[in-house]
Structures are given as C-alpha cells and as structure tokens.
Chains A and B, each alone.
Chain A
Amino acid sequence: MTTSQSPQAPSADASAQPAPAHPRTSEARTGAQILCEALIRQGADTLFGIPGGAIMPFYHALPEYADQLHHVLCRHEQGAGHAAEGYARATGRVGVCVATSGPGATNLVTPIADAWMDSTPLVALTGQVPSALLGTDAFQETDIIGITVPITKHSFLVRNASDIPRVVAEAFYIASTGRPGPVVIDVTKDAQQASVVPNWDVELDLEGYVDHRVAAIDPAPVRAAIELLAQAERPLLLVGNGIIQSGASAELIAFAEKTGIPVITTLHGLGAFPQEHPLSLGMPGMHGWVHVNRAIQRCDVLLNVGSRFDDRVTGKAATFAPHAKIIHVDVDPSEIGKLVQVTVGIVGDAKAALSALNAAVEPRDESKNATLKRWIDEVHELRAKYEPRQAYRRRPDTPTLQPHDVCALLNAARQQRGPCRIVTDVGQHQMWAAQLLDWRRPRSHLTSGGSGTMGFAVPAALGAAVACPDETIWVIVGDGGFQMTNQEIATMAQEGLTNVKIAIMNNGYLGMVRQWQQLFEGKRYSGTPLSGPDFAKLAEAYGVRGITVETNEEAERAIDDAWDTPGVVVIDFRVEREANVFPIVPQGQSIGDMLVDPTTRAEHHEPAGAGASKR
C-alpha cells in the first residue's frame, strides 16, 4: 500500500484541526524548522520535553513557532513521556515528547513501553549524534532505536533533513492508525542543522502496513457471531480499551440494549459503558468483583470487543470461561487467538464491528427473554450476596482513615462538581479507585494498565491538564509512586496550571506488594515499609497548596477545599496502613478462585460442578 499523504494519511485527529498554512513554502530552511512545521502540519500543538546537545538545533527553532507549538519543559524525560501519554489518552490525539540523545532518550524508555502496552498513540522525538559520529560510541550516543525495537510500533532514524516531511507524516500515521502505539523518530544533529527546501508533497511509503480500522468488516464472522449469540443462554459482553479508542460507546450501549446482554468492563474499559446502566456488571479479573468473574466462569458465549485477554483479566488462561464459546473483536488480528482460542474472530475497529453487529442482530425476542432474565437474575443475586462495595464499608473497630472512605468521598464530591478526569497510579489505590468510583464517561479514567508503571499518574495528569484546561484532573496516587515522579508538580507550577488536584493515599508502604507479602508470604514485609517527606510541606516547597488529612471529617473538607482552590493542591491522606484490596485472585490461579475480605467473608471458591478450578 502506498498511501498519499492526503486525504487518508493524516490521522483523523489531526484533520480535525485546521492545518495551519505556513507561508514560506519554497524557502530553504533548517531541518529543525522543518521538523517544527511537520509537527504543526500533523496537528501537534503541545510538546513535552527536555533539551540537550543533540536536540539543541530543534530547540533553537522552537521559539519561532511558539504560537502554534507549546513546549512544556518537564523535570525528567520519563515525566515528559507520561505527560504526552496523558495528553493522548485524554484527547485521543497523538502525544509528542522530546528528548536529547543518550540519557535523555533512555529516560523515555519507560513511557514508550507504557504506551506500547496500552496502545497509546505517542511520537517520541529524540536528538541523535551527528551522522558522521554514528556507531563510534560518541558522547551521549545511545542506540535508542535498537533499545526500543521491542516496544515501538515502528521507528525512524533521520539523517537527511529532506526526509523529515515524509518521516513525520508516516510516524503520526502509524502511531494513530490501526492499533495505536508509540513511534520513535531519532534525528541526527546534522539533519536538524542542514538547510533544504522541504517538499511537503510526499507520498507515505508504507506498503505492507494495513490500517485495520478503516477496513470493511467481513460479514461472514459477523453472521457467525450473531448465530452464536442467538443460541446463547448465558451471554456476556466483555469490553475494553478498544471501545474507548474507537469512540464506540454509543454503539456498545445500543448493542447491549438491543440484545439485553450484560456488560463487563476491563480496567481500561472503565467509562466505556456507563456504570449506572442496568446492564453494567463491573470489572473482571484479579481485583474484579466476585459476581463478574463468576459470570465469566458460567457464561456460554463471551463476546469480547476491544480487550486482549490480559492475564490480569483471565487469571489462568486454561481455566478461563470454561463453558464459553468466544467471539473476539479486535483491530489487531494478532490478538485474535493469541491467548484464548476463539470460535469467531472479527478483525476491525470496535465502532465499525459493533455497528455491523447492531445491524445484523435481531432485537431480543420475547421467547428468549425468560432465559436471559434468569441468567441476569442469577448474576444479580450473586452481586447482592457479595455486596461488592459494601464489603469495604467502614467498620467500627478501625478508627483510622480508610482508603475506601477517601474514594467514596471523592466519588460523592465528583457527583456534585460535575465531570472531571481521574488519573491513577499503580498499586492498591489504583484498584480501590477502579472499584469504588463510578465510571461513566470514556477517557475519564486514565491509568497505566498493561505496563503497571508506578510514577505514571502525576506526569500523565500534567499532560491531561494541559490538554483539557477547562476540566479538573484528579490524581489518585500511592506514597510510593508519588515519590517517583512528583517533580512534575514543579512543571505544573511553571505552567501556571490550576486544574490538577493530587490525592496521595499515604499508607507508608509499597502497599500492593505488602499485601501480597501479607497474604501469600506470611507477612514477610521485605522492602515494602516506606517513609517519605511531609508531602504537604513538599507541595508548599513547589509553590502549590498542601493539606494533610487524618480523619474522615478532614478528608471531606480537604476535597472540597481542593476543588475550590484555583491552583494545584496536594492532599496527603494518611490512611490505614494495612488495608487490603479485595477480592483478589492469587496470581496464576483461576478467576473462579477468589479470596474475599477475610474480615467479612470466607474465601470464595467456584463450586466443583462449574469445573473451573478443577484443571
């Protein structure tokens, strides 16, 4: 496939913006200037980065384009990368981060890996040593392309300024189409300095690259899927990131309502289907609800749209959904049949596939209603029995502030304050937030899922806050993850951002690891007790507001206060130190075998008849 740059090539997101025409099309200019113009032509408006020797020519050119390209100076390249991810996930547009060669580029490796695992459209622009020095172990020379091969969709080494227009167009196209992902553009210093007349009329040279989002949906598997669903007595819909990435929530709701099939949402699917919808069941997997995992283990047809059977969802794959025929819709053909054998695979964009399914499916027929109702009642009974959120209710014997209470308070405040986005880090707090907040809107829940990158939340919130200046961005982060990347608060202060509120669930532990040590390793707390600075004072040192909270009453007041303060606020919630996330499926086990909170319930095992835990 050789795709011309227009009209198909630029990402939909880029074309949504008016392409700013640059006046001087026929003048020679530096590669660095051409880079800036190429980024603008792709619809980029914000860059997150840190300069250095090999990328200095680019930074030299930047001020000239300051009205169209806003550069956010981060405090660590990891922060720049996560900020670009936060920008991308909040908006669906390509996030751009910039770093110099060597250590600047290697600091981007973690966010690039994170974007790869969560299919986030990201372009990482790195400076490289002059081409004459390539391969000589020159000062700050690192083979960043070689290092990132396993975690990028593609990468480009640019040695000639004249290649920049094509390369940047291809990079944005690859990053944002098909299954989105990160692309690295490594530009030698001499290519940035060379002076050429750019040719913008370039063809993308991407034969062999297929954008499965725009390909027509094959009707044969759609028919097969409809047939399977028609015969199903206990059907279930499993949805994930693909719904959010393709903007398919309306089609999903229509399909669920037309068929009456209940919906479960993965961590990255939270918000894809409104939680208060009567057909919404909640989150599956390692920290999913008992009734959801149980429904998976009992369903007879499982329709997965846009999630990839991650092991945190399936538990032991061999015992996952043992009674189900599986239909899998994915934009990436390699995901179909990769981890779980499927009966029907549909390759394509979630929105297009759901539209095709919607068009083909008959509305729920009355004779089927009774069977389906019995199934839904069965799941609801189980939900009532395990009272998911109630299991976390405040107990009289625990006077300290409970992390669950903080989540409940935040949730309540959010209902009154209107829409906001919530960025979570990685650990116990991430799971409590996923379980205990109401997720109603796509892209309102940003987290690091596939990679589980501690340190994601604060910089990702920076990116989301820059992208959505009119919305409040709440961060829910552990004391461990906060101490990894909190320096980006300085960036927020320098940017004059007022819309970020940071809730630290300070339990004095690397809590999630501590929980595993408590449950599975006889309380051997090795390497998990954690101290830290006074976070409120640290916030003040950054020039933002800091509040310390120890009781429920203070918590409620602090949340309101944060919302009313026109500035970044850090709240240090001193929560119960050894609270745990329940339920939990021990790693590598069947999702039919869940541990529920021992203080309220006994272990929950799938009854033998269900067959799940037997193999």
Chain B
Amino acid sequence: MTETTPLAAPIVRVRPAPRKHTIVVQLHDRPGALYRAVGLIRRRDWNVASLVVGASERPGTSRMVLVVEAVDVHQVLQQLTRLVDVVSVAEIGRGDALVRETALAVVEEDGNVAEVERVASETGARITDRAHSRLLLEITSSPSKVDAFVEAVRKFDLKQLARTGPIVIRESDPDSITDDHHAGAQPQSAGSHSLNSSALTPQESAR
C-alpha cells in the first residue's frame, strides 16, 4: 500500500484523576424519582460521599445534594439531566454557595466535663443535653469544621455519632444545565453557558 499521507504523532488523551464534586439536583416529588436518581448513581459506578434529600423552596420538588467522586463530572451531570423527573442539575464550585452540615454526638464525660466543654466551645459546637454522665453535642457548620469537630470528639468515649452530609444553598437560583440544552457538549463554547467551568475539565483536556 502506498502510504502517501504521513501521519502525525498520535493524539494523547489523558483522563484526569477523580475529584470530589458537589452537585445539586432539583427533582419532582414523584414516586420513583429518587429511586431513579439513586439507581443511576449506583449503576454508573460513581463513588458517593454523601447524599441528602429534602424539601426545596418549590412545593412538589425536592432538592438533592450529592457529593460524588468522579473523573468526568460532566457525565454525571448529563446522566442526571436525562432523568425525566429531574428539573435541574448544577455543580457547586468552591466559594459560590453556602454549605452547611449538622452533626450530633453523644459522649461519656468520664469525670471530665470541663474538657468536653472546652472542645465544644473550640469547635463551635453546643452542648444541648445532659443525662447522667452523657453529653449530647450538636454542631451546624461548614463540612470542614464538622470534620474537625468529629475528630475532636473521637478523643472522648464516643457513644453515638450522626452526620447529615452537606446541604447547599446559593443566593441566586442554581444554574441549571437542563435549560441549556447544549451545556458542556461543546468544550469550545465552554464559556458560553452557566456551568461551573470545572465541570468540563475532562473534555477540555486533551484535544
């Protein structure tokens, strides 16, 4: 065969390492809606760090906040957008939203109430109940402060711990990729839509 057209070096396509992403999904309160969303996450094999579902400002819809570890968050957003009961999907970037989480801990004071109280005040937690030698501590703060609180209470005789996972709110309505039908589909126009640009990293990288 005459190889008349010499080939340039092959294009190297790099997949970036997985990163944590916070995604807010607004979905209809309909039977099966949550099941579909959660099933999708399981099926596509994404690693979920937390998942919180609760009421949203709009009757008939819930807000789901999902912290997911993924290489291709764009794919996560697109797959969630595909669901018929999903109204909007948005990735929350650092610093553009208020993120809060609550944790509750029950510790045995072991004659060291003062130390527990000190830890509570240092980490920003409140002691909301005392019964016999047990203290109930409560904190609502940013996830990193809740992390610090959890680490601190582990030094005590920790009887129970519960964390909610983060919930998120933005002053303006979260940008929705569902209204923006070509969102992210063409990396070249990445600036033209409202998605946090980090959502596009995988596509933008190599070519």
Contacts and interface: CB of A to CB of B under 8 A. Distances in A.
A210 interface: yes
A527 interface: no
14 contacts: A150-B40, A157-B31, A174-B84, A208-B27, A208-B85, A221-B185, A234-B5, A323-B8, A337-B202, A343-B187, A347-B181, A375-B5, A381-B2, A611-B10
B189 interface: yes
A149 B36 contact: yes
B206 A224 contact: no
A208 B178 contact: yes
A338 B7 CA distance: 26
A557 interface: no
Nearest to A220: B189
Which of B2, B10, B32, B86 has most A Cβ within 10 Å? B10
Contact of A324 (B11, B31, B183, B202): B11
A381 B1 contact: yes
Q: Interface of chain A, helix or strand or loop or mixed?
A: mixed
B182 interface: yes
A218 B2 contact: no
A150 B11 contact: no
A612 B31 CA distance: 48
B186 A345 contact: yes
A382 interface: yes
Contacts of A145: 32
Contact of B178 (A146, A210, A342): A210
Interface string A342-375: 1111110000000000000000000000010011
B82 interface: yes
Which of B35, B184, B185, B205 has most A Cβ within 10 Å? B185
Nearest to A291: B1
Nearest to A154: B84
Nearest to B43: A150
A611 B188 CA distance: 27
Pick the 4 closest A-B CB pairs, nearest first: A322-B10, A334-B78, A345-B185, A221-B186
Nearest to A327: B186
A284 B192 CA distance: 35
Interface string B175-207: 000100111111111001000000000110111
Interface residues of A, number: 56
Contact of A149 (B39, B178, B184): B39
Contacts of B178: 208, 210
A217 to B, nearest CB: 9
B71 to A, nearest CB: 12
A610 B9 CA distance: 8
B186 A208 contact: no
Contacts of B185: 221, 333, 336-337, 345-347
Contacts of B202: 337, 341
Nearest to A218: B182
Contact of A610 (B7, B81, B206): B7
Contacts of B84: 153-154, 174, 206, 208-209
A330 to B, nearest CB: 8
A344 B188 contact: yes
A218 B82 contact: no
Nearest to A319: B10
Interface in A475-526: none
B28 interface: yes
B112 interface: no
A300 B181 CA distance: 28
Given A174-B84, A378-B1, A381-B2, A210 B181 contact: yes
A300 B7 CA distance: 8
B203 A337 contact: yes
B187 A345 contact: yes
A220 B192 contact: yes
A544 B133 CA distance: 86
B88 interface: yes
Contacts of B83: 208
Contacts of B40: 150
Contact of B183 (A154, A300, A333): A333
Given A157-B32, A611-B10, A337 B87 contact: no
B1 A212 contact: no
A141 interface: no
A375 B86 CA distance: 47
A382 B88 contact: no
Contact of B7 (A207, A323, A332): A323
B10 A218 contact: no
Given A221-B189, A345-B185, A378-B3, A333 B81 contact: yes
